[in-house]
DNA sequence: AGGTTTCGGGAGAGCGCTCTCCCACATTTC
DNA sequence: GAAATGTGGGAGAGCGCTCTCCCGAAACCT
């Protein structure tokens, strides 16, 4: 029997007589034969692998990634899409300049067929590097000007406006903002959206403190706000973790939530339901976005589309107990 | 110029005249040449890649992994060791039976040269599957009987004893335990160690509630303990997250920590310092253990040792404010 | 019956590297 | 001066697959 026949059986292409198929499979099982992926890749120019890259330019990278449920949601969204197509998902972390270079080299050399990139910081050079390397790439979040890669994104400004309008509608007139770190890709949009919506109501001065997307930074931010602006009656935090921290602090200080101060979060992560009181928050459908991101890449790899696609999701306000 | 010469330059083997080296490198840079990893692997039977596998048999896998700083610490420990040797670290998640099978197949086919496995649950079949596939494997945590793979581990029983002795020495006579989930690899050791040490002092009945390694489960466990055993004067939690949750609950109930109830955690993670009050805890040097784990695998891959090695670390008690 | 299509399977090239030979030439040694 | 030694570089096999071509046999048409 020729190698070609075996290859046909293993890859399920063209017709092979059923009995021959069976005998081939038997032999494979008996010998414990495993096809060599390297040899296969060499000729197919495919690896059957897609990389999910978490990239950051700042420090304390892993501490951020492995304590924010956000990334787990991304993984949750991506996995089933890839598994369904028998594509092996591979998580890559790019925590430093050196790591980024090594990673691009690795992918260029055929480490994966494409990359799903989740940049933690704005101005991350990785997407541009991957595009330059000619690797099919889809981003979580809008690419910088000129970068022609696929992406999924949330209309962050709209989300922030939802929060602002809700606070205004419920009678809050002195809102404050716990903003995302300046370096976060979403920082600008969420801040601007919130401010604009309030400005439309004549509120021009809004106290702003930057947080770092962690519970602890939310506490500290809340402490600062309360000290500098004791009369605020609402807080919008750029993610749920910070909102949770804010709630904790307010509670400890005996400030009633939502009685005295209303709190709105962002993401609708598990933290929103765990916070006391449960958080009103802007829902970001991270899992669906991540699944769409994987879908766009797969389409591109299948050649279904030559141009990388894009998809923008609309946020929804989820009202719970904190407003 | 022959392919052989280029190969020699790229891989830096044998002598090549400096000027030829330079011209080769120039050409590489000019053409934008990238060696094909598949072709290289085909002949060298190496990929230059090591897999770090997070495996669990239970559910809500990603939620656990991406909200417990423990895994970030493992990654932190592993990365530098591999980067130093120019080995590409690849994170793989095995969240289901199907995923595990696919993953083993992937690695068998040459997805990586070896695997570092962090099992989240006891009785995880993955290590045995990898050994059967003939893949060099090192475990975080002791392998089950009969599995001949390398591992690093902490003397968990000793850690629990440290906690018990400390509580006893500081005058606590009615301690309780917030234990790890039954399925956790460390659950038995930490429970037994704690119980034995107390038994040696004549304390035979210790209230035990199982937690799930999360802050929230720690709160709930503490609530149960306090309700069923209002007179307890100390709590040992099997990790810092649960200890933090316990502290939060106690605080909210107006129970003084450490005044009325002392709390000891386990791990010495960032959560220990973030908790109010700061946690007395059993330090597990996760980063060093993870680095050692990577080191053991690298040694095995280098052929420095044929038998897989093992290393057991000793815990240390860190006294802070909660006792 | 002869010709044409369909179908199953073999032969063999070639994917892009590495690595072992081997050879040409320079340098040293007796 | 010839032989021994060293040094740099080319030739070519071969890693384990896939895939195109081709061929023989069976099935279908006219």
Tens digit of each residue's pLDDT (9 = 90 or more) over A293-304: 999 999 999 887
Å: B194 CA to D8 C1': 68
Residue from A47, A59, A67, A103 whose CB has the most chain B CBs within 10 Å, to mutate: A67
Sort out which chain A residues have CB atoms less than 8 A from B99's CB and list them.
79, 83
Tokens of B282: 């059993």
CA dihedral (B46, B52, B58, B60) positive or negative: negative
DSSP for residue B56: -
The partner residue sitting opposite B69, judged by closest CB among A37, A66, A90, is A66
CA distance A112 to A108: 8
Exposure class string for A44-83: b at 16+ Cβ within 10 A, else e: eeebbbbbbbbbbbeeebbbbbbbbbbbbbbbbbbbbbbb
Average pLDDT over residues A237-263: 95
* Phi then psi dihedrals of residue B317, to 5 deg: -85, 130
Nucleotide nearest to A44 (CA to C1'): D18
Which residues of chain B neighbour A67 with C-beta distances below 8 Å? 66-69, 72, 270
Q: Is residue A23 over pLDDT 90? A: no
Element containing residue A287 per DSSP (H, E): helix A286-302
Which residue of chain B has the CA closest to A85?
B102
Residue A256 is encoded by which pair of tokens?
A: 């009633």
Out of B37, B70, B92, name the one closest to residue A91 (CB).
B92
**How many of the other CB atoms lie within 10 Å of CB of B218?**
31
Band of pLDDT at residue B117, cut at 50, 70 and 90: very high
pLDDT at position A1 is 59
Query: Residues of B with CB below 8 A from A34's CB?
Result: 105, 108-109
Cβ-defined contact of B67 to A67 (cutoff 8 Å): yes
Give the range among A5-9, A307-311, B166-170 with minimum mean pLDDT.
Answer: A5-9
Chain A contact set for B291 (CB, 8 A): none
* B76 contacts chain A (CB < 8 A): yes
Q: Residue B300 carries which DSSP code?
A: H
Check CB contact under 8 Å for A110 and B270. no
Distance, in Å, from the CA atom of A243 to the CA atom of A214, rounded to the nearest integer, reads 9
Q: Positive or negative CA dihedral for A151, A156, A162, A165?
A: negative
User: Which positions 39-68 of A are in contact with B (Cβ < 8 Å)?
Assistant: 39, 41-42, 47, 49, 62-63, 65-68
Provide Rg for chain A, Cα atoms.
24
CB contact under 8 Å between B67 and A62, yes or no, is: no
Residue B37 at interface with chain A, using a CB cutoff of 8 Å: yes
Smallest CA–CA separation between A316 and chain B, in Å?
A: 22
Would you state the pLDDT for residue B1? 60
For residue A192 the two structure tokens come to 């601007």
**Helix (H) / strand (E) containing B311:** strand B310-313
What's the whole-number mean pLDDT along residues B186-191?
96
Nearest to A37 among B63, B66, B110 (CB): B110
Contact (CB, 8 A) for B69 and B269: yes
Those nucleotides of strand D lying less than 7 Å from any protein Cβ are: 7-20
Q: What are phi and psi of A181, to 5 degrees?
A: -55, 145
Q: How far, in Å, CA of A155 to CA of A148, rounded?
A: 19
Residue B2 has pLDDT above 70, yes or no: no
What is the pLDDT confidence band of residue A37, given thresholds at 50, 70 and 90? very high
The rounded distance, in Å, linking the Cα atoms of A110 and A102 is: 13
Question: Is the Cβ of B90 closer than 8 Å to some Cβ of chain A?
Answer: yes
- Residue A9 makes CB contacts below 8 A (sequence gap 6+) with A16, A20, A21, A24, A25
pLDDT on residue B220: 96
Give the rounded percent of residues in chain A with a pLDDT score beyond 90. Answer: 80
DSSP for B92-159 reads EEE-SHHHHHHHHHHIIIII-SEEEEEESSTT-SHHHHHHHTT--EEEESPPPTT---EEEEE-HHHH
Confidence at residue A59, expressed as pLDDT on a 0 to 100 scale = 75
Determine if strand D comes within 7 Å of the CB of A17.
no
pLDDT of residue B81: 96
- Say whether residue A38 is in contact with chain B using an 8 A CB cutoff: yes
Are the C-beta atoms of B312 and B140 separated by less than 8 Å? no
Contact A124, A56 (CB under 8 A): yes
Query: Measured from the CB, is B31 under 7 Å from any atom of strand D?
Result: no
The chain-wide mean pLDDT, for chain B, equals: 92
Q: Is the CB of residue A20 inside 7 Å of nucleic acid strand D?
A: no
**Block residue for tokens 């596998």:** B53
Element housing B6 (H / E): helix B3-11
Measured between alpha carbons, how far is B58 from A274 in angstroms, rounded to an integer? Answer: 21
B65, B99, B110 ranked by CB distance to A36: nearest: B110
User: Contacts of residue B69 in chain A, CB cutoff 8 Å?
Assistant: 63, 66-67
What pLDDT, on a 0 to 100 scale, did the predictor assign at position A303?
82
What are the two backbone dihedrals, phi and then psi, of residue A44, each rounded to the nearest 5 degrees?
-80, -20
Identify the band that residue B27 occupies on the pLDDT scale cut at 50, 70 and 90: confident
Q: B66–A63: do the CB atoms touch at under 8 Å?
A: no
User: Percentage of residues in chain B with pLDDT exceeding 70?
Assistant: 96
Place of tokens 């990603």: B62
Query: Distance, in angstroms, between A61 CA and closest chain B CA?
Result: 9
A43, exposed or middle or buried, with CB in 10 Å at 0-12, 13-18, 19+? Answer: exposed
Q: Would you say A285 and A267 are in contact if contact means Cβ atoms under 8 Å apart?
A: no
B66:A71 CB<8 A:
yes
Please state the rounded mean pLDDT for residues A137-149. Answer: 90
Instruction: Report how far apart, in Å, the C-alpha atoms of A245 and of each of A95, A154, A209 are.
Output: 26, 24, 13
Q: Residues near A10 by Cβ (< 8 Å), separated by ≥ 6?
A: A24, A28, A35
Do B117 and B78 touch, CB atoms closer than 8 A? no
Instruction: Nearest chain B residue to A52 by CA: give it.
Output: B91
A34: nearest nucleotide, CA–C1' criterion: D16
Closest CA to A94 of A51, A33, A153: A51
Taking the C-alpha atoms of residue A167 and residue A165, their distance in angstroms, rounded to an integer, is 5
Phi, psi of B225 (to 5 degrees): -60, -45
Q: What is the mean pLDDT of residues B37-52?
A: 94
B148 Cβ within 7 A of any nucleic strand D atom: no
Radius of gyration of chain B (CA): 24
Stretch A9-30: mean pLDDT: 71
The pLDDT mean for chain A works out to: 92
Shortest CB distance from A79 goes to which of B73, B76, B95?
B95
* Chain B neighbors of A83, CB-CB under 8 A: 98-99, 102
Which residues, numbered 99 to 128 in chain A, qualify as contacts with chain B under a Cβ-Cβ cut-off of 8 Å?
A: 99, 102-103, 105-106, 108-111
Query: Prior bond to B5 cis, omega within 30?
Result: no
Q: Which residue has the higher pLDDT, A94 or A147?
A: A94
pTM: 0.91
Structural contact between residues B222 and B249, judged by C-beta atoms closer than 8 angstroms: yes
- Protein contacts on strand C: list nucleotides below 7 Å from a Cβ: 7-20
- Which pLDDT score is estimated for B14? 61
Nearest to B66 among A42, A68, A216 (CB): A68
Q: Which two tokens stand for residue B193?
A: 């160690």
Per the CB < 8 A criterion, the answer to whether B58 and B121 are in contact is yes
């Amino acid at each position: 029997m020729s190698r070609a026949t075996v290859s046909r059986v293993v890859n399920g292409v063209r017709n092979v007589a059923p009995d021959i198929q069976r005998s081939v499979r038997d032999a494979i099982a008996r010998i414990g034969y495993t096809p060599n992926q390297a040899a296969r890749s060499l000729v197919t120019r495919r690896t059957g692998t897609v990389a999910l890259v978490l990239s950051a330019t700042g420090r304390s990278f892993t501490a951020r990634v492995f304590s924010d449920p956000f990334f787990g949601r991304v993984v949750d969204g991506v996995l089933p899409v890839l598994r369904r197509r028998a594509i092996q998902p591979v998580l890559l972390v790019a925590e430093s300049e050196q790591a980024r270079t090594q990673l691009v080299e690795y992918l260029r050399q055929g480490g994966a067929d494409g990359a799903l990139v989740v940049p933690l910081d704005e101005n991350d050079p990785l997407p541009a590097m991957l595009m330059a390397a000619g690797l099919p790439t889809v981003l979580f979040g809008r690419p910088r000007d000129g970068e022609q890669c696929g992406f999924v994104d949330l209309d962050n400004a709209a989300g922030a406006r939802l929060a602002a309008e809700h606070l205004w509608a419920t009678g809050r007139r002195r809102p404050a903002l716990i903003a995302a770190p300046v370096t976060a890709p979403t920082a600008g949009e969420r801040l601007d959206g919130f401010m604009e919506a309030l400005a439309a109501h004549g509120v021009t001065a809004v106290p702003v403190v930057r947080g770092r997307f962690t519970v602890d930074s939310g506490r500290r931010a809340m402490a600062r706000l309360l000290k500098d602006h004791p009369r605020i009656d609402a807080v919008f935090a750029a993610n749920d973790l910070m909102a949770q921290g804010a709630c904790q602090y307010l509670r400890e200080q005996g400030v009633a939530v939502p009685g005295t101060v209303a709190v709105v979060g962002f993401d609708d992560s598990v933290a929103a339901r765990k916070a006391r009181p449960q958080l009103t928050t802007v829902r970001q459908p991270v899992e669906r976005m991540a699944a769409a991101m994987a879908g766009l890449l797969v389409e591109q790899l299948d050649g279904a589309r030559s141009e990388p696609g894009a998809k923008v999701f609309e946020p929804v306000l989820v009202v719970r107990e904190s407003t």
